[in-house]
Amino acid sequence: MELVTPGIGLIVWQAVAFIIVLLILRAFAWNPIMSALRTREGLIEDSLKAAENAKAEMEQVKLDNEYLLQEAKIERDKLLQEASVIANKIKEDAKKETSVITDKMIADAKSSIESEKKAALAEVKNLVAELSLEISEKLLREKLSDDKSQKALIDKFLKEVKVN
């Protein structure tokens, strides 16, 4: 049973060795490990604070973006409304200008028609006068082919000249 139960001397030497190892570990390993853990804990806390700050900043940026988006929508609606007003004004101006041009074209066409009409009437009058002269000339030649009718016509003209 000696194998299963250790002796008192062995237990004492093991306890002394354990305490020495514990003191050496405490002197050389425990403090650096603890300081590394404290440093890591501080880094983790700083990272958590930075994450919270980033989250708050993101919320603020999100609110700012929503505000800017609303302003952009209002500005867009305003610009669209102004563009619509300008387009309607341009349409109205174009209609007015077209109306003025159309009226001018109609007036020009009427004056052109009137001048053509006057020219045609003058030409018709000239043609009628020429035809009348030709007909009169033919009639007079035919009637005045003999001497008797020539004397009668001359007498008639002389009587008319005296009367007037």
108 domain residue, yes or no: yes
The whole-angstrom separation of Cα 1 and Cα 97 is: 126
The boundaries of the domain holding residue 95 are 8-159
Question: Do the beta carbons of residue 115 and residue 121 sit within 8 Å?
Answer: no
Q: Is 110 inside any structural domain?
A: yes
Distance, CA of 48 to chain centre: 50
What's the CA dihedral at 44, 49, 52, 56 to 10 degrees?
A: -150
103: helix, strand or coil: helix
Residues 161 and 155 sit within 8 Å (Cβ to Cβ): no
Positive or negative: CA dihedral 57, 58, 63, 64: positive
C-alpha–C-alpha distance, residues 2 and 9, integer Å: 13
- What is the Cα–Cα distance from 45 to 47, expressed in whole angstroms? 5
pLDDT (tens digit, 9 = 90+) per residue, 1-17?
566 777 788 889 999 99
Lowest mean pLDDT among 3-17, 44-58, 100-114: 3-17
Angle at 47 between CA 46 and CA 51, to 5 degrees: 120
| Any domain includes 1 | no
pLDDT digits (tens, 9 = 90+) for 78-99: 999 999 999 999 999 999 999 9
Looking at residue 161, its pLDDT comes to 65
Mean pLDDT of the chain: 87
| pTM flag (> 0.75) | no
Q: How many domains does the chain have?
A: 1
Distance CA 54, CA 52 (A): 5
Residue 164 lies in a domain: no
Contact 143, 153 (CB under 8 A): yes
